[in-house]
A and B are shown apart, each in its own frame.
Chain A
Amino acid sequence: MEIPYTINARPDTGLYNAKLGIWLFLASEVMLFGGLFSAYILLRVSQPPGGWPHGWLDVRLGTVNTLLLALSAITTLLAWAACKVREFGKFKFFHGCTILLALTFLGIKSYEYHDKWIHYEIQLTNGKIDDGHLIEKSADFDLAKKTGTVTLHGREVDNHVELMDLRSPAAQSAKLDEMTIAAADIKKMENYGPRHNTFTAIYFTLTGLHALHIFGGTLVIFYFWGPGSKLYKTDPERFTNRIEVSGLFWHFVDLVWIFLFPVLYLT
């Protein structure tokens, strides 16, 4: 059974079906990420002054990721262009690059997540706060039983507020040392995971959902690069359309990052 306009465009709209379909889907994705961004804006704006952290994310890693994705958007476009001019070898090369760039992005993201996971804020019984990355926990470390010690690489502050703006001169010039803390002195110990505050919550949610989209997109592109590429031999035009449609999805994912990066890393 033939459904019309799967490959050739319908004259009055100028579109083939899948192209219209993907743009409609992307419109819904704009509203999805838009909903999350609106949550971000509202949460941030309703914080009291000094309540929103700055500088908690590594700008260098974020910049590298931004450039990786931008480059992958370009290789995606070129992969499609190669299909259009029927240069299969170049298509394979460009989309191979796309996949590698995507995997590198995900690798860097995982590293960043891990960094937050081992970053602890420990409130001590004497009112001070120790903040830093975990080096080791002693074998008998047990918070409930109050035994053992934990060693952090970080600093000690008097007030939680000092931990909020890592771009401030005070934070920039702070010295980081190794500190060993006894479990008996710990009032509360929490890592910089989603529950730590609303910034980490929205950070993990936004970048997590984005990463899922990257992962899904990579799977689709890998499928077309690998097993799905045999359609090129039998129906190159239809295959090219698939590359175009999946490419549009990939470009959208890059678009989201274009806003995520400044919003989370630079402000």
Chain B
Amino acid sequence: METTVQQFPPFREGAAHHGHDDHGHGEHHEPNFWQKYIFSTDHKVIGIQYGFMALCFMLFGFFLMLLMRWQIAHPQMPVPFFGPILEKILGQPAAGGAISPELYNSFGAMHGTIMVFLGVVPLAFAAFGNYVVPLMIGAPDMTFPRINMASFHAFFLGGIVMLVSFFIPGGAAQAGWTSYSPLATTIPTNGQAFWLVGMVLLITSSLLGAVNFIATIIQLRAPGMTWMRLPWFVWAQFVTAFILLLAFPPLEAAGVLQLMDNVAGTSFFLPTGLAVGGQLADRSGGGSPLLWQHLFWFLGHPEVYVLILPAMGIVIEVIANNTRKPIWGYKSLVYSVLGVGFLSFIVWAHHMYLTGMGQKIATFFQATTMMISVPSVIILTCMFLSLWGGAIRINTPMLFALGFLPMFGIGGLTGLPLGLAACDLYLHDTYYIIAHFHYVVAPGTIFALFAGVYFWFPKMTGRKMNEFWGRVHFWCSFAFMNIVFMPMFVQGIKGMLRRMSDGGINYSAARVPNAIDALPGTAMQMNGVILWAAICLGIAQIPFIINLFWSISHGEKVGTNPWRATTLDWQTPTPPPHGNFAHEPHVTHGPYEYSMPGAAEDFTPQDAPADKTATAHKPAH
């Protein structure tokens, strides 16, 4: 899919007197390989770069999880097949091909970090956002293409730093993706410092991206593309960008402070009287471990909305398209996403109910947490109601979008007992939490992202992915995701704590038969089931990977708008050329004008000529 540079462009802004743009005066020039694929400033190339890298990181993060699940189900037993390889690469921490507790901890910390910051956020926000948003709003590119390129390279560098940390003496970060002090400072490895440097690079990448997205959506909407005519996907990305812009910097500040603790011997997060290894630490003290937690979760909570909102955006687009009717409650969706974005900044300490906070402050955060569930439920409700009365078309993207709905429902509902402080006291740090957040992100967000890949693949390549294998991918993933994560709710309620490298065996009824709350055999047996389900889940991704690459050259060829969609991204040539649109689009219709009474087709593109009949362009509300 060669994207040749198009001959001179689409549309110019007004006056003729300015003039020297980057490519010279109306001449062809063919960029070389480096300019086209590695150092491109075109948002579509950058989107694909992000997408490809993110999928690679996600696969790697998945593999780390498989190693951890093996250790949990078979503590201290050598990993089959991969054990010797691990020992060869990592040495002592993988002695005998078994995963030592330190190695397990580093896998745990890095699995979380990689999946969140190198996998889901770059895929959901940067990849899909970069590719689709300028197309959807009728823009030629992002407002700041070179900053866009810089943000990708910062992300790439951050990823390299994170991966390299596995190979340094002492290993990668081992203090969880949350990197709590004082543990994060006293662990004898430089892996924590690498993690912090990697995070600073990733945060920089996100901040640059956020500025770009917000400026683009505000400034580069095509004529007629009013705020209330924006596809909801764009609204979701807009709010996500604001969250990233304002919530990430305090974590960057905290990261700098923790880096100072690790490298310069300061005591920002180290309390007075800290003892390490039985000896008083040679530190000034006077710091506060809780301060790190506050600064971390100030980002940490809005971060989860960064993970879910773009995914919800994709689901809305796919549902509208495959029900052939406008989305139910567009205005409610817009106000809800704004509400979620705003409230997400003042709920964070519900991650800290066990830190000894007083009743008043805990009640405050509990109240705001309960409040934020309202707009989230409104969004989910609008999605469900949009199905009512629709001419539902089942294809792979729609299957994933439909699958998202109950999965996010489970994830969201199981979050309610966690938001209530009294209940959270018991459930905190158990496998219930792991089940809750994985339900929202794994069969939640990631399903939506799969939907997005299958959905926009024809726009990027001019071919559809294979439908049969897409359905195999969906049904297998759906089944195995649930088998992996549903038992974890049960394990958590029975008291199994998270981050235990031995899978809880030292607390089990088998080992300590007289203990009151020993983990019962049923809970322990689930570890074995989960391991098998996880392996099968991994195998279920193979058809997807093969399908993705094979379809680029062998997939069924399709036209420019195979899904018969209304949004502007589908009104471009395939693949969209440099500059995207041959003529500046003029938007005259809302985003989801499917099956409009009086219209010739069952969909009306946003830039179709304005219709005279009153009903035809009555906006869906």
Contacts and interface: CB of A to CB of B under 8 A. Distances in A.
Interface of A: 1-8, 10, 13, 15, 17-18, 20-21, 24-25, 27-29, 31-36, 38-39, 42-43, 46-47, 51, 193-198, 201-202, 205, 209, 234-235, 237-238
B291 A28 contact: no
B268 A13 contact: no
B18 A238 contact: yes
A17 B266 contact: no
Given A1-B23, A51-B286, 18 more contacts: A5-B13, A20-B215, A20-B218, A25-B207, A28-B245, A31-B246, A31-B247, A32-B249, A35-B253, A38-B250, A43-B287, A193-B264, A194-B260, A195-B267, A198-B287, A235-B19, A235-B20, A238-B18
Contacts of B207: 25, 28
Max chain B C-beta neighbours (<10 A), residue from A1, A25, A196, A198: A1
B220 A201 contact: no
Nearest to B255: A35
A57 B23 CA distance: 53
Interface string B191-206: 0000000000000000
Nearest to B5: A1
A56 B267 CA distance: 19
Interface string B213-251: 011001110000000000000000000000001111111
A264 to B, nearest CB: 16
Contacts of B14: 8
Given A32-B249, A34-B249, A235-B20, A195 B143 contact: no
Interface string B6-45: 0001111111001111110000000000000000000000
Contact of A202 (B140, B248, B265, B268): B268
A195 B13 contact: no
Contact of A17 (B10, B215, B249, B291): B215
Contact of B143 (A17, A32, A36): A17
B579 interface: yes
B149 to A, nearest CB: 14
B561 to A, nearest CB: 23
What are the 7 closest A-B residue pairs judged by CB atoms, nearest first?
Answer: A35-B253, A35-B250, A195-B265, A32-B249, A201-B266, A31-B249, A4-B13
A31 B266 contact: no
A255 B298 CA distance: 24
A28 B136 CA distance: 26
A193 B405 CA distance: 55
A67 B268 CA distance: 31
Contacts, number: 157
Contacts of B247: 31
A1 B21 CA distance: 7
B254 interface: yes
B133 to A, nearest CB: 14
A194 B264 contact: yes
A6 B264 CA distance: 43
A227 B141 CA distance: 28
Contacts of B21: 1-2
A237 B19 CA distance: 11
B578 interface: yes
A209 B182 CA distance: 23
A2 B11 contact: yes
Interface of B: 9-15, 18-23, 139-141, 143-145, 147, 207, 210-212, 214-215, 218-220, 245-254, 256-257, 260, 264-268, 283-284, 286-288, 291, 295, 298, 578-579
A3 B143 CA distance: 7
Contacts of B286: 43, 47, 51, 197-198
Given A1-B23, A35-B295, A13 B284 contact: no
B288 A42 contact: yes
A7 B21 CA distance: 12
Contacts of A20: 143, 214-215, 218-219
A15 B254 contact: no
Nearest to A198: B286
Contacts of B11: 2, 4
A259 to B, nearest CB: 14
A4 B265 CA distance: 50
Given A28-B210, A29-B249, A201 B215 contact: no
Contact of A21 (B19, B20, B144): B144
A21 B210 contact: no
Contact of B246 (A17, A27, A43, A198): A27
Contact of B20 (A4, A29, A201, A234): A234
A237 B283 CA distance: 55
Given A2-B12, A17-B144, A29-B249, A35 B284 contact: no
A58 B110 CA distance: 45
A232 to B, nearest CB: 13
B36 to A, nearest CB: 14
A17 B210 CA distance: 14
Contacts of A17: 143-144, 215, 219-220
Contacts of A31: 246-250
Given A10-B219, A39-B295, A43-B291, A1 B264 contact: no
A33 B147 CA distance: 22
A35 B249 contact: yes
B219 A2 contact: no
A43 B19 contact: no
B257 A39 contact: yes
A46 to B, nearest CB: 6
B265 A194 contact: yes
A13 to B, nearest CB: 6
B253 A32 contact: yes
7 contacts: A4-B11, A4-B219, A21-B143, A28-B249, A32-B253, A34-B253, A38-B250
A219 to B, nearest CB: 16
B210 A1 contact: no
Given A2-B9, A35-B250, A195 B211 contact: no
Contacts of B214: 20, 24
B345 to A, nearest CB: 10
A18 B20 CA distance: 17
B288 A46 contact: yes
Contacts of B18: 7, 235, 237-238
Contacts of A42: 288, 291
Contact of A198 (B13, B22, B267): B267
Contacts of B265: 194-195
A21 B211 contact: yes
A198 B284 contact: yes
Contacts of A27: 245-246
A36 B254 CA distance: 7
A38 B295 contact: yes
Contacts of A6: 13
Nearest to A42: B291
A5 B579 contact: no
Nearest to A205: B260
A25 B249 CA distance: 11
Contacts of B15: 8
Nearest to B246: A31
Contacts of B251: 35
B211 A25 contact: yes
Given A28-B248, A35-B253, A1 B211 contact: no
B268 A3 contact: no
Contact of B268 (A24, A201, A234): A201
B250 A195 contact: no
Contact of A28 (B211, B218, B257, B283): B211
